[in-house]
Amino acid sequence: MERVSIVGMFCEDIREEKAGGATLLGIFPDNVNVPMIPGAFPKLCIYVRAIFDPTIDPGPVDLALVLADGESQSLGALDSEIAAKGREDALQKGSPLVGLIASITMANLPIMQAGRIKIVATMAGEEIVCGVMNVQVEPQPA
């Protein structure tokens, strides 16, 4: 979709700051080693930021986590009322962009097989892969 950027990050924790910001702790690299499969992430946090032109209406932006085995789990949606308010404010102030943020914390996410975990945003019927993490079994020392 034109004039839209959506980025998702996997991390160990997201701390809400008093001033309204967020601090991401332990951002995972593209490839993550786990000791064994099946296994689980005791805690997995997902931070998604969508930025778009205020002249377009993104409608609802649904977020999902797609595991390596193809199982999809809904992560909820970016609030369309907040998006509408953001668009209105940006247009009034002449801002070129509107930003929306979602923070998701998951506990005991099972990992049943190695492979890619994806964060997928669906907007206006279009799927946008906005984050990927490859999970692999840690090589055993010889």
- The 10s digit of each residue's pLDDT in 52-99 is 899 888 788 899 999 999 999 999 998 888 888 889 999 999 999 998
Looking at 72-111, list the stretches that DSSP marks H as alpha helix, in order from N- to C-terminal side: 80-93
d(CA 28, CA 26): 6
Residues of the chain by 3-state class (helix, strand, coil), percent to 5 = 10, 60, 30
pLDDT digits (tens, 9 = 90+) for 89-137: 999 999 999 988 999 999 999 999 999 999 999 987 889 999 999 999 9
- Structure tokens, 26: 């332990």
Distance CA 20, CA 119 (A): 24
pLDDT at 2: 59
Longest dimension (CA), the chain: 64
The structure tokens 């609030």 sit at 79
Q: One-letter amino acid identity for 66?
A: V
Q: Could you tell me the pTM of the whole model? A: 0.89
Query: Domains along the chain?
Result: 4-137 (2.60.40.1930)
Could you tell me which residues come within 8 angstroms of residue 31 by beta carbon, excluding any fewer than 6 positions away? 133, 134, 136
Residue 26 has pLDDT above 60, yes or no: yes
